[in-house]
Amino acid sequence: MAERRPYPSDLSDARWELIEPVLSAWRAERRRHALNIGRPPEHDLREIMNAVLYVDRTGVQWRYLPHDLPPWETVYGYFAKWQRDGVFAQLTGVLRRLLRQKQGKDAEPSACVIDAQSVKTSTSVPAAGQGTDAAKKIVGRKRSIVTDTLGLLLAVLV
């Protein structure tokens, strides 16, 4: 099979080197718990991640993935399993720790910053889907974020 031309959203070799151990460990763990039947994986994890990044960058629907990337069903299946198994949160943590160390900080933050914002909702939103911020007298939703002192995201709550 001929090698495809890269898309601007494709992972560089350096970025792939950072996330490859996490994805390979995930795949190995899943195969370890699976029955010893079925075909071995036929698609490269890097190509699957490139396809996920393509969807993220371009906003196309899964079914509109270009034909030179793995089939959309495969890519979406991996995406859903990665999301369910917390792989994206794990990757975010790995990258945050590496960036903190590069900045000369400890890998794990010792302090954080919490901020919240209340947002009014439309009158058509069901009451069960909204709350009240009594201090601001706003009926709607409240979103909160937690960052470390470098501004790197730790948590989001809506």
User: How far, in Å, CA of 121 to CA of 141, rounded?
Assistant: 7
Residues whose CB is less than 8 angstroms from the CB of residue 114 and which lie 6 or more positions away in sequence, other chains included = 144, 145, 146
Tell me, what's the pLDDT at 93? Answer: 93
pLDDT recorded at residue 36: 67
94: how many CB neighbours lie within 10 A of its CB?
Answer: 15
Rg (CA), the chain: 20
Per-residue pLDDT tens, the chain, 158 aa: give them: 568 899 999 999 999 999 999 999 999 888 887 766 667 778 999 999 999 999 999 999 999 999 999 999 999 999 999 999 999 999 999 999 999 999 999 999 999 999 988 877 777 777 776 776 667 677 777 788 999 999 998 988 87
Residue spans per domain, the chain: 13-102, 112-157
Supply the pLDDT for residue 18: 94
pTM of the model: 0.78
| Model pLDDT, residue 45 | 96
For residue 138 the two structure tokens come to 């706003």
* Dihedral angle over CA of 103, 109, 113, 114, nearest 10: 140
- Which among 46, 89, 80, 45 is positioned nearest to 62, based on CA atoms? 80
Angle at 52 between CA 48 and CA 53, to 5 degrees: 115
SS3 47: helix
DSSP state of 2: P
